[in-house]
Amino acid sequence: MDAPIAASGAGEAGVEAGGAGVSAGVVVQVGPDGDVADAVAGDVRKEVAPGVPDPSFGPEVVDRPALRVIRERNYSPTEKILPILSGPFENQRILVAGGIGSGKSTELLVTAERLVGRRTVVLVDLWRHMESGVKDPGAIEHLQPWEIVALVGLAVLRATSEYFRLPCDEEARTFARALGGLQDRPPGEATLDVGRLATGLAVAVGGGMAGPAGGAAVAVGIEAIKAVGTAWSWKVGLRDAARRGDQDQAVEDLVQATTGVIQHLHDLLDRRVVVVVDGLDRVRVDGTFSRLFVESALLHRLPCDIVVSAHLALVHRHNALLRFRRYDLANEPVADPVNPWMPGKGVGFFRTLVDLRLQAIRQEGWPTTFDSVPWRSAASRPQRRCCASRPPRKKLARVRA
């Protein structure tokens, strides 16, 4: 087994912790077959009271701006992504890499919020959809590229009809025929109702005209449209499903139909469409990652900008073959870069983060003795001599018996 890759995080509202070349927290094991196994502490979704989410360090709080802590520009992929998506060149493909719980979802949401004034933004979290809609989280490890394209098409269809309230009947019918052609449906069964199916997919939308139907505000400029619990009927990510390649005619029909859906929204609003796909960092099987990000070009054929998240370990493994602009989630340094035996700026970041979380559950801040924990735990690990400020070790005199 390869050496474990260390990464750490403070939930999706936080950021990986580290400094002077080391990190502390989540340990990622990369096996000989390339698969990744995470030991993620505190990734259990829970409630502090019925209906009240736990404002802890898990990924449930990214849509609560009051619990966010702004990262420095040097450690934020958003600052590098925004100029690209705001520029004149269309159909950008961007990948944000990081460990689970490192803060990617927050970065993607902040990116979407800041694009709203210039672009039409549709955000979909596939991991949450697999948990709550499909009710089979493991299915994300078996997704095929054409299924990602179909999910993008459904998200844009729902944004068009429910958020922008624009007509898209013809595009929906074409999409339904294409998606139905990829499913094993009994002869004579009614055409797939993609309008109802799309309501089973939660999306966040911003830009253009406002006026969501039943949406709840999650952030300035972004509106969330919740999924209808009983609407999802498509069995996606099946483990024994036949693989379909990019050259399959049915897959080609689906890509063309999805292209029509996206282009229709673009033309009606006269704005570029940016699709943000979160949750694919949960893909930790090397073969699935390779099929989605290396072997298939389906996502690259859609007429929109696409931003996705992916697991850092697998991104590193396939870096040379990726056709995405890649941005790693940089560490907030809890150890000083020059003198790792001193605390870095990241200590203040995490203290502010924890204070906000504790205040949210009506507790007061943490003990001052915690200030030294992050950088001390990192700096105390064995490191190579790469810093001139390292104090010299005293030579011990040999004592002969």
pLDDT at 316 (0 to 100):
92
1 within some domain: no
pLDDT at 208 (0 to 100):
62
Nearest alpha-carbon partner for 350 in 375, 379, 378: 375
- Which amino acid, 281? D
Taking each helix axis from N to C end, the angle separating 145-158 and 169-180, rounded to the nearest 10 degrees, works out to 160
149 within some domain: yes
Nearest alpha-carbon partner for 229 in 91, 134, 139, 341: 134
Count of alpha carbons within 13 angstroms of residue 271, beta-carbon side: 20
254 within some domain: yes
pLDDT at 46 (0 to 100):
43
Range of the domain at 161: 71-332
Nearest alpha-carbon partner for 206 in 109, 278, 70, 133: 109
8 within some domain: no
318 within some domain: yes
All residues at 6 or more sequence positions from 272 whose CB lies less than 8 Å from its CB, including other chains: 90, 119, 120, 266, 304, 305
Q: How many domains does the chain have?
A: 1
123 beta partners: 204, 276
Residue with tokens 């700096």: 379
What averages of pLDDT result for each successive group of 10 residues across the chain (401 residues)? 35 36 38 53 40 45 68 84 93 92 86 90 93 91 96 96 93 93 65 85 79 39 84 89 93 97 95 95 94 95 96 93 89 82 84 79 54 53 49 51 44
173 within some domain: yes
pTM of this structure? 0.75
65 within some domain: no
pLDDT at 36 (0 to 100):
60
289 within some domain: yes
Report the DSSP pairing between strands 222-225 and 216-219: antiparallel
CB atoms closer than 10 angstroms to residue 52: 9
